[in-house]
């Protein structure tokens, strides 16, 4: 069996993996990033919406921005529209082309000195004396052992690295949002706004979205809680019904199915010689399902902590816990608020959602973040939202 040795092996070529590899390589480490698919960025499993905060992580390039949006329209079950202006809402600002965006991030990692290798799948972790010491991988050349001081599990929602290392268990149906999405063309849309539709008939314990990708193209999709899915009422069934109502004549260019972890981040995302980043660590806002920016933010922290730990010759879980505490202090509160707000909103009936929407009707709310929207709702409905206020304040 072939054997290789690096300082860091990163498993997964999504935003979490590429940014971790880039950050660690920039600090002089010998890094390899492996991706099981034959190309970085495909297949796309994403609605591709991000806030303008993305500019913090990569220089903008028109090639991977399909649309710039001014805000969001949210529709309650009875069709009441609330418009949120500004670009503070998660997933609202740009609609990306993830095929090119993910490639640009991997290319940055390669420019920083990381080796990027596609068609190479991690099949297990190498453990020795209580430490993770690398991965077993399969590529065109057969099986090999890739040894490293630190393994990064950036292998997405279906992450196996964490399970092999014994720090996470499989997700329960209620922990995931199951999504179906079409890229549609010949479609009449609001180009300057991303649109969200809530209600039990549209998407139980979830929402539907229309994110513009150009003049007459959009990502049209929806997600429902895994525990609401069953024969005849799967995400794709709800999506077909949504499209039948709103875009009966539009063409479908791509079909996408995927899942998002919406249970809040793992309590432990490190072990001796191991760090989990991005969806693998469940670093997604449970309310919106947005994970791209959290993955990149966590990845920068991971790359930095990895570099320090390797320099100090201490890759123990205890040393790597700095990663967990920095993630918690940078964005832990937002994910926790998202989780509580999600649980609260999922308990509301369509009538309750309509009433809340009516309380904001006719007002354009500018520069509102998701958190600020919740506070505005609580201010306008103090009696009805006392439960939510207790949960998030
Ligand atoms: C339908 C849908 C819509 C979404 N819409 C949005 C949105 O609009 N905005 C937003 O912010 N977020 C959105 N998300 C969430 C977002 O896509 C993720 O949070 C983000 O991609 C996480 O990045 P990541 O690098 O952690 O994981 P991923 O992007 O999933 O990357 C993981 C990579 O690891 C690779 N891999 C897995 N196992 C192995 C292995 N054993 N060996 C080697 N490689 C492996 C995979 O092939 C994959 O390339 C959406 C998700 C879905 C499913």
Question: What is the per-residue pLDDT across 132-159, written as a single tens digit (0 to 9) for each?
Answer: 999 999 999 899 999 999 999 999 999 9
Ligand 1 mutation target, pool 260, 291, 302, most atoms within 8 A of CB? 291
Is 251 within 8 Å of 235 (Cβ atoms)?
A: no
For residue 107, the enclosing domain spans 2-44+99-172+266-342
Token output for 359: 């309380």
Query: Above pLDDT 90, what percent of the chain?
Result: 80
pLDDT of residue 111: 98
The arithmetic mean of pLDDT across residues 110-131, rounded, is 98
Task: Find the radius of gyration of the CA atoms of the chain.
Answer: 21
Residue 207 in domain: no
Best residue among 12, 39, 98, 103 to mutate for probing ligand 1's pocket (most ligand atoms within 8 Å of CB) is 12
pLDDT at 82: 87
Q: Is the pLDDT of residue 384 over 80?
A: no
Mean pLDDT of the chain: 93
Residue from 203, 195, 212, 199 nearest 178 by CA: 203
Contacts of 379 (CB under 8 A, 6+ apart): none
388 pLDDT above the threshold of 80: no
CA of 279 to the centre of ligand 1 (A): 6
Where in 226-316 does DSSP place strands (E)? 251-261, 270-271, 274-276
Look at phi and psi of residue 66 and say left if phi exceeds 0, alpha if psi is from -120 to 50, else beta.
alpha
Q: What is the CATH number of the domain that holds 314?
A: 3.50.50.60
Q: Please give the DSSP secondary-structure letter assigned to residue 280.
A: G
What are the φ/ψ torsions at residue 191 (nearest 5 degrees)?
-70, -25
Q: How far is ligand 1, taken at its centre, from the CA of residue 198, in Å? A: 24
Give me the phi and psi of 229, to 5 degrees please. Answer: -90, 140
**153-178 mean pLDDT:** 94
Tokens 């040894």, located at residue: 147
**pLDDT at position 190 over 90:** no
> Which of 18, 19, 40, 47 most suits a substitution to test ligand 1, by most atoms within 8 Å of the C-beta?
47
The predicted structure's pLDDT at residue 385? 73
Residue 156 lies in a domain: yes
Residue 49 has pLDDT above 70, yes or no: yes
Residues having CB within 6 Å of any atom of ligand 1? 11-17, 34-37, 45-50, 91, 121-122, 154-156, 160, 179, 181, 221, 256, 258-260, 278-280, 284, 289-292, 295
Q: Which atom of ligand 1 is nearest to the CA of 15?
A: 25
| Contact of 40 with 64, CB cutoff 8 Å | no
Query: Which residue's alpha carbon is at the smallest distance from atom 50 of ligand 1?
Result: 46
Would you say residue 13 lies in a domain?
yes
Residue 366: the pLDDT is 66
Nearest CA to ligand 1 atom 52: 46
Report the nearest atom of ligand 1 relative to the CA of 49: 8
Ligand 1 centre to CA of 13 (Å) is 9
- Write down the pLDDT at residue 363: 66
> Is 35 part of any domain?
yes
Of all protein residues, the one whose alpha carbon is nearest to atom 41 of ligand 1 is 122
Lowest mean pLDDT: which of 235-244, 249-258, 369-378?
A: 369-378
Beta-strand pair 31-34/2-11: parallel
pLDDT computed for residue 191 by the predictor:
86
Total tally of structural domains belonging to the chain = 1
What confidence tier does 170 reach under pLDDT thresholds 50, 70, 90? Answer: confident
> What pLDDT, on a 0 to 100 scale, did the predictor assign at position 383?
74
In a domain, 84, yes or no: no
From atom 16 of ligand 1, which residue's Cα is the shortest distance away?
291
- Supply the pTM of this predicted model: 0.95
Q: How far is the CA of 351 from the centre of ligand 1 (A)?
A: 34
In a domain, 241, yes or no: no
**pLDDT single digits (tens) 79-92:** 999 888 876 677 78
User: Which protein residue has the closest C-alpha to ligand 1 atom 27?
Assistant: 156
Residues 220, 258: contact at Cβ < 8 Å?
A: no
Residue 386 has pLDDT above 90, yes or no: no
Take atom 18 of ligand 1 and give the residue whose Cα is closest.
291
Q: pLDDT class for 368, splitting at 50, 70, 90?
A: low
Question: Which has the higher per-residue pLDDT, 383 or 296?
Answer: 296
Which atom of ligand 1 is closest in space to residue 256's alpha carbon? 1
Does 333 map to a domain?
Answer: yes
Nearest Cα residue to atom 31 of ligand 1:
14
* Lowest-pLDDT range of 11-20, 253-262, 295-304, 355-364: 355-364
Pocket test for ligand 1, best of 94, 156, 211, 257 (most atoms within 8 A of CB): 156
Q: How confident is the model at residue 362 (pLDDT cuts 50, 70, 90)?
A: low
Mean pLDDT, to the nearest integer, of 309-333? Answer: 97
Please check the confidence at residue 367 and state whether its pLDDT lies above 80.
no
- The answer to whether 295 and 16 have CB atoms below 8 angstroms apart is yes
* Separation of CA 45 and ligand 1 centre (Å): 7
Q: What is the predicted pLDDT for the residue at 391?
A: 66
Q: Which residue has the higher pLDDT, 253 or 363?
A: 253
In-domain check, residue 354 = no
Say which residue, 359 or 101, is predicted with more confidence. 101
């Amino acid at each position: 069996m072939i054997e290789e040795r690096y300082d860091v092996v990163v498993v997964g070529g999504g935003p979490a993996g590429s940014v971790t590899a880039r950050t660690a390589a920039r600090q002089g480490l010998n890094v390899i990033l492996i991706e099981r698919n034959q190309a970085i960025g495909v297949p796309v499993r994403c609605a591709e919406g991000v806030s303008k905060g993305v500019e913090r992580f990569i220089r903008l390039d028109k090639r991977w921005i399909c649309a710039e949006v001014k805000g969001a329209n949210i529709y309650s079950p009875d069709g009441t529209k609330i418009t949120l202006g500004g670009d503070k809402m998660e997933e609202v600002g740009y609609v990306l082309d993830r095929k090119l965006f993910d490639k640009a991030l991997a290319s940055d990692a390669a420019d920083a000195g990381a080796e990027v290798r596609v068609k190479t799948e991690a099949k297990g972790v190498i453990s020795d004396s209580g430490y993770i010491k690398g991965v077993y991988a399969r590529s065109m050349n057969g099986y090999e052992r890739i040894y490293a001081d630190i393994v990064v599990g950036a292998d997405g929602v279906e992450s196996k690295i964490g399970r092999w290392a014994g720090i996470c268990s499989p997700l329960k149906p209620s922990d995931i949002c199951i999504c179906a999405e079409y890229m549609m063309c010949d479609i009449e849309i609001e180009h300057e706004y991303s649109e969200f539709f809530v209600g039990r008939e549209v998407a139980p314990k979830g929402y539907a979205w229309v994110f513009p990708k150009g003049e007459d193209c959009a990502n049209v999709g929806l997600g429902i809680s895994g525990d609401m899915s069953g024969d005849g009422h799967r995400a794709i069934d709800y999506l077909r019904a949504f499209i039948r109502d709103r875009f009966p004549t539009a063409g479908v260019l791509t079909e996408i199915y995927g899942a998002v972890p919406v249970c809040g981040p793992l309590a432990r995302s490190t072990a001796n010689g191991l760090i989990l980043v991005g969806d693998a660590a469940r670093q997604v806002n449970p309310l919106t399902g947005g994970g791209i920016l959290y993955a990149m933010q966590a990845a920068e922290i991971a790359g930095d902590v990895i570099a320090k730990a390797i320099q100090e010759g201490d890759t123990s879980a205890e040393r790597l816990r700095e990663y967990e505490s920095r993630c918690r202090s940078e964005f832990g509160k937002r994910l926790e608020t998202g989780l509580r707000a999600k649980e609260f909103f999922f308990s509301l009936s369509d009538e309750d959602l309509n009433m809340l929407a009516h309380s904001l009707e006719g007002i354009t709310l500018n520069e509102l973040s998701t958190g600020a929207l919740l506070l505005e709702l609580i201010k306008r409905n103090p009696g009805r939202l006392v439960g939510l206020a207790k949960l998030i304040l």
